Amino acid sequence: MRSVLFAGVSVFLLTFPVFAQREPVTAVIGSQFTAFLNNDAETAFSYAAPSIRRIFRTPQRFADMVQQGYPMVWHPAEVRYLDLREVAGSLWQRVMITDQNGAVHLLDYQMVNLGSGWKINAVHLLKGQADSV
């Protein structure tokens, strides 16, 4: 009995740091969604990590990429946050998005903490995963 309790407490203590970051992480992602819905490329770009900002250089180039490559993110009909997990030292937030046509998409957001707050470092569209949700 004691070993089962110890195992449960150990799992909780190991995963607590990830759970403690859930609200700040989802707040950043949600704020970027709000900016996209308002067609506010400059604010949306402000939530991107420095590496992403260096690649696209301007809010408009970033917005063009999102509109063309991730149209479900630009104007989602519904957003649902799934699991937040740590993989190789990085936090990944899984997000389920329903687009304006009713199609469901799963995306993984890689988050980076810059000390001044969380930023979005990468977004991966998970092909073929939405059918299993």
List all residues 6 or more positions away from 102 whose beta carbon is below 8 Å from its beta carbon.
77
Do residues 18 and 86 make contact, with C-beta atoms less than 8 angstroms apart?
yes
Q: Which residue, among 104, 103, 114, 110, has the nearest Cα to 124 in the 3D structure? A: 110
Q: Which residues of the chain have pLDDT under 70?
A: 1-22, 128-133
- Whether this prediction's pTM lies above 0.75 is answered by yes
C-alpha distances in Å from residue 78, one per residue of 22, 25, 100, 104, 107: 19, 18, 8, 9, 13
Residue 18 is predicted with a pLDDT of 53
Residue 62 is predicted with a pLDDT of 97
Residue 121 is predicted with a pLDDT of 96
Residue 2 is predicted with a pLDDT of 56
Residue 9 is predicted with a pLDDT of 42
